């Protein structure tokens, strides 16, 4: 579920997933850091820590974005089903 950042997200959700470093920085700033360890980059779950999902707005490469999102979601699903 994609929703705008708000004060309740940090309380209501177990994970907050960022697509790029700007998302990550804004979430950390909004929530005063990440003391509960809930904020992660999507591609961390694809074995690509710190990498950003390709933004088709700037790249025009929707295929690269699809591959990044698919890899991140597959890795996230794998981790969630292991735990």
CB proximity list for 64: less than 8 A, separation 6 or greater:
54, 56
Read off the DSSP letter of residue 40.
Answer: E
Q: What pLDDT does residue 22 have?
A: 94
pLDDT tens per residue, range 3-23: 777 766 677 788 999 999 999
Its pTM stands at 0.86
Distance CA 79, CA 65 (A): 21
Report residue 38's pLDDT band, with 50, 70 and 90 as the boundaries.
Answer: very high
């Amino acid at each position: 579920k994609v929703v705008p950042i708000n004060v309740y997200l940090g309380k209501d959700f177990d994970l907050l997933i960022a697509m790029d470093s700007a998302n990550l920085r804004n979430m950390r700033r909004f929530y005063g850091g990440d003391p509960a360890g809930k904020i992660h980059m999507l591609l961390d779950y694809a074995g690509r820590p710190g990498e950003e999902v390709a933004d088709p707005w700037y790249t025009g490469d929707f295929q690269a974005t699809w591959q990044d999102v698919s890899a991140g979601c597959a890795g996230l699903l794998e981790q969630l089903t292991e735990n």
